[in-house]
Structure 1
Amino acid sequence: MTAANNEYPKASNATLIGASITYVAGLFLLLSFAGPYWIESYPEMFSSFKHMGLWEYCFDRFRFPSYQFDKLFHGCHYIFSQEFYVIREWLLPGWLMAVQSFVTLALMLSFTSQVLLACVIVRWPLRTVLRYEWIFVTSAFIMVAVSSVFLFLAVAIFGGNCYRRDWLLYPSFNVLSWSYAFAVVAFILFGIAAILLYLESRKLYELRAEAKNLVAQMQHSQPEHALHQLRDQLQQQRQLGYM
């Protein structure tokens, strides 16, 4: 087996398909993570709230009722910006911080799994991947599966709380938007990829166990083979001595 002649075993089709689905799901997750359209207001309602994402809110001359000063919040701003300092507690309830945490962790895990799968596909570093491929694929499977679970929790929590009346005013004017839909698509794709990677990791583990058994059998058979060779050599020497 030489790397120069590409005679080493390639990655299986299941790994390639699982990795491809993981990359597509990662793209949807990235767009959802950065997109400011988890929920938006109907255009015909002319609401002062326009749309929001995990890290950004957009208002059109919005006046917060509980704020004692006559201040209008206008434009799109980062949720931790100075502009939203006085209403940040209202904009960022505990359940939304949980959604942010789940999506962020899912993004980090999916990116790490993509790096591992890329190493398996391109066979780099070659010796390490060929020796520990089942560990690479198993680790990627665990990360992808956990990412899918985290995203499921994120979309479930957000979908169950986004119409609360103690959060955005006039929730009946709002509708879930494409950033939220991308998160749903990402968690479904991660689930499919996790199934494929799980099946492949089991297959690689079984092949590894068979290889270990074969090596053990060869090691046990070597002393007997060496003993037979020694006896044959002694017999040949005796025959030569008699002649």
Structure 2
Amino acid sequence: MTADNEYPKASNATLIGAAITYVSGLFLLLSFAGPYWIESYPEMFSSFKHMGLWEYCFDRFRFPSYQFDKLFHGCHSVFSQEYYVIREWLLPGWLMVVQTFVTLALILSLSAQVIQACVIVRWPLRPILRYEWICISVTCIMDGLASFFLFLAVAIFGGNCYRRDWLLYPSFNVLSWSYAFAVIACMLFGVAAVLLYLESRKLYELRREAKNLVAQMQHSQPEHALQQLQQQLHQQRAMGGWSS
């Protein structure tokens, strides 16, 4: 037997759960960075073009409440100097909550991927083999929380993106592919969490059965009975010494 086969490999359920987590993370990353959470219909010729969590794109847009005659044109970060005067309008409170939830989901996703990679490659070997069910349980919780946070993010964004106190002429706009990717990532993270939960329960049961088997083997060994007999003899001798 070669050294590569001296320890059990990761199960198929772990591999499938990790693969779904990686695919979910890719969708989430594209959604996080993509500037197409909502866009305007091309045939409407709106001055607003599209936006993401961190970027807005306008075409010679004039903000009605700004007292100076300034046109906002092109794509810029929401934190850029270009949008300084209208940042409060571009970043309402509910949108900052969406940014927070998506960011937390991304952090949880990346952390889960790192742990799953260590479980799959079996590094470090001893801790992974000893605490594999704990690692799988942790990644299950991370995927579940990522799915929950994304659900809150897409629900809040979908419920507020057509508000008339945000983008002008909301009826000209439609949800776009970055938002769709967040929805897909939310569902995939949920599927991965279920698979990893089932696998963690299985690993926990196997570990408990192995512990019970080892305990039974230890109690059934004659050396163990001999050690108990020797201890009793020592105790009897000690008591005889005290009585004399």
> Is the pair's TM-score, using the shorter chain for normalization, greater than 0.5?
yes
Partner of 2:103: 104
- What do the CA deviations read for 1:98-118 (whole angstroms, capped 9, x no partner)? 000000000000000001111
Partner of 2:169: 170
Matches of 1:221 and 1:88, distance apart in 2: 74
Whichever residue aligns with residue 187 of structure 2, its letter is: I
3-state SS of paired residue (1:142): helix
Partner of 1:196: 195
3-state SS of paired residue (1:180): helix
Partner of 1:52: 51
Percent identity reads: 84
Matches of 1:217 and 1:73, distance apart in 2: 76
Partner of 1:220: 219
Which consecutive residues of structure 2, in runs of 5 or more, have no partner in the other structure?
A: 231-244
Report the Cα offset of residue 6 of structure 1.
Answer: 2.0
3-state SS of paired residue (1:50): strand
Q: Contact 2:41–2:172 (CA<8 Å) still a contact in 1?
A: yes
Matches of 1:125 and 1:3, distance apart in 2: 19
Partner of 2:11: 12
Report the Cα offset of residue 7 of structure 1.
Answer: 2.2
- For the pair 1:113 / 2:122, whether they are aligned, the reply is no
> CA 1:7 to 1:52, structure 2 compared with 1: closer, same or farther past 3 Å?
same
1:1-243 correspondence to structure 2 within 5 Å: 4-222=3-221, 225-227=224-226
Whichever residue aligns with residue 51 of structure 1, its letter is: H
3-state SS of paired residue (1:47): coil
Matches of 1:63 and 1:41, distance apart in 2: 16
Whichever residue aligns with residue 62 of structure 2, its letter is: R
- What do the CA deviations read for 1:78-107 (whole angstroms, capped 9, x no partner)? 001111111101000010000000000000
Report the Cα offset of residue 223 of structure 1.
Answer: 6.0
Matches of 1:93 and 1:119, distance apart in 2: 40
Matches of 1:33 and 1:167, distance apart in 2: 20
Whichever residue aligns with residue 190 of structure 1, its letter is: F
- What do the CA deviations read for 1:118-140 (whole angstroms, capped 9, x no partner)? 11111111111111100110000
Whichever residue aligns with residue 168 of structure 1, its letter is: L
Matches of 1:198 and 1:153, distance apart in 2: 22
Matches of 1:184 and 1:5, distance apart in 2: 40
Q: Give the CA RMSD over aligned residues.
A: 1.7
> CA 1:12 to 1:55, structure 2 compared with 1: closer, same or farther past 3 Å?
same
Report the Cα offset of residue 222 of structure 1.
Answer: 3.8
Matches of 2:112 and 2:157, distance apart in 1: 25
Partner of 2:241: none
Report the Cα offset of residue 55 of structure 1.
Answer: 0.1
Aligned residues, how many? 229
3-state SS of paired residue (2:39): strand
